[in-house]
Structure 1
């Protein structure tokens, strides 16, 4: 989800949030309501620095947000300590609310599904489907991971009585799930940091939600926050929340966000940057060459340095995803996909 999900040290969080100075939501530094667009946020513990509360009333009334997804759990037994408070406060403020679980495929899917369901069932009422946030494979191959995913989703539905939704991003679904079309009966929430709404992956005919930025600024939230768009009207969101998971469609397909110089850098082909990262990892380049490559791609000096520092940190920890980078080098992927991949590697470190 925001690709910076877990609580980390301040230094690691700063490195992971390298996109924050690079991506702005729909044409404005502060996310406001845009006519005809149903927008929302997703939040986790790091939107509550020092435990400071989110002003959900302002998020809805001034910030113009219509819905919110709140991180509920991760793995077999970790709960977001702010989940109950944020889910209730967002609902009380008039937003449609959903919960999400960050998947740990190295651990048992049924145990995780039951734990997630227990958090949701025992917590405040929610309106949107429970979400599986699937971003890492933790060593499972595509067939194993698809089986893991199906067991999790089936158990969540059995335990909550609600059909869940899948959150993922393009590179992961193509390369780690072999672009399987086995899950098209579930709604899709796709992350893609770009101007143009992305095409669906995995045989889906449409997105239900599009996460277009991990660095929006919304009144009532004191940190950068993920920005999302629902693929439908407000009335269709009401239908979706009531259980018609086929409601919506057609809005994103016809919508082109205003051009943004900041977003254009993320829409470029990632090959040159990937080559520079692999060269640095192999000792053929120094950090300055990677910084230069990032500057040539259009990043400012701060973001270019952040990218280089993140790569150096991952390489020093032995967590740089070399095989994924080689796949990305020959595949059709954008700079935005690369940054998501690197941040997920940091989460696994």
Structure 2
């Protein structure tokens, strides 16, 4: 989820690299009429005043919005109430998400989300658990934490929650558990073909396909999402039939959207092995940051993007937050992409920088 716009952090580059097809201009103008597009936002889209013109967002073919509501045990996003009410007033379907801090009590965090969710009449989408960092918990501990959170949120709101995550986190930190397959899955995967599900899920219910989209009515880059179903299925989903999804994303797993893969997305869809190895080489002192930049340019990033990626890794090495164990896992074989690597590095920043 878009939370940070940091100089010298990798999503300065990702805003360019990930945005190619999906973020250029009116990205949904050529979408089939039965696609249900949406956005998710937080205070990082709040540029002051009426910073989001929600009627323009809706008219730009975006039918739903998830708003960041809470994080940890007691934080409420400053823009939540304003954004949620604005999106509701525009006629969009609206939900709320919680950024998980697994080092702290799950029940207290679930109650934090529930208070915010219940405080805004008119929310029609279920509440969401945004689970992206482990904060030192094992897969078994994370599973217990997640179970407790989801159970409490459902008890407090009367709505079965959605679970948001990304592929590497679920496969590695969650040990690809299938326990939560009866909750809707919202999966982040920045690529031009729809992702396959993880864990025990048989489908992805919502696909977050870019975090650097450009949408009418929003002044900043924004996350773009595609619901796995047509408008009739979406109406049933809103009414509580969380099994209504399916049929839109499955054919897109085998073919790129909009007729081809742009150069920017081709960069992200490559195996990450060589780039991860270069970053680990820098961490061990064998390679200099300039050599990591050269490796990133070899993958197809321009000089500025390559510098930002190398500088992000360098800063993480210096402050001890580079996810070395994860990089070692990620670079084995061809299972993970450059895009997965960039999400991992960004989450290392999120885990240590807070809200």
TM-score interval, smaller chain:
over 0.9
| Cα distance change of structure 1 residues 187 and 345 upon mapping to structure 2, 3 Å threshold | same
Counterparts in 2 of 1:309-348, with a 5 A limit?
309-331=311-333, 332-348=335-351
Cα distance in structure 2, aligned partners of 1:278 and 1:74: 31
Aligned equivalent of 2:185: 188
**Counterpart in the other structure of 1:31:** 27
Aligned with residue 236 of structure 1, among 230, 233, 236: 233
Confirm whether residue 126 of structure 1 aligns to residue 123 of structure 2: yes
Cα deviations across residues 209-267 of structure 1 (Å, max 9, x unaligned)? 00011100001111100111000001111111110000120110112313222111111
Structure 1 outlier segments of 4+, above 6 Å: none
Does 2:110 correspond to 1:113? yes
Matching residue within 8, 14, 22 for 1:19: 14
Residue 220 of structure 1: aligned partner: 217
**Aligned pairs, number:** 343
Matches of 2:338 and 2:283 in 1, distance apart?
18
| Residues 74 and 103, structure 1, Cα contact 8 Å, conserved in 2 | yes
What pairs with 1:243-322 in structure 2 (closer than 5 Å)?
A: 243-255=240-252, 256-258=256-258, 259=260, 260-322=262-324
TM-score of the two chains, using structure 1 as the length reference: 0.95
Offset from partner CA, 1:28-74 (integer Å, 9 cap, x none)? 4333341232111100111113455211010111x211111000000
The two structures, once aligned, show a CA RMSD in angstroms of 1.5
Is this contact kept in 2: 1:16–1:310, CA < 8 A? no
How has the CA–CA distance of structure 1 residues 262 and 16 changed in structure 2, closer, same or farther, with 3 Å as cutoff?
closer
> Take 1:30 and 1:339, find their aligned partners in 2: how far apart are those partners?
25
C-alpha distance 289-201 of structure 1, shift in aligned 2 (>3 A): same
Question: What displacement does 1:11 show?
Answer: 3.3
TM-score normalised by structure 2 residue count: 0.93
Q: CA deviation digits over 1:66-86, x for unaligned, max 9?
A: 111000000000001110111
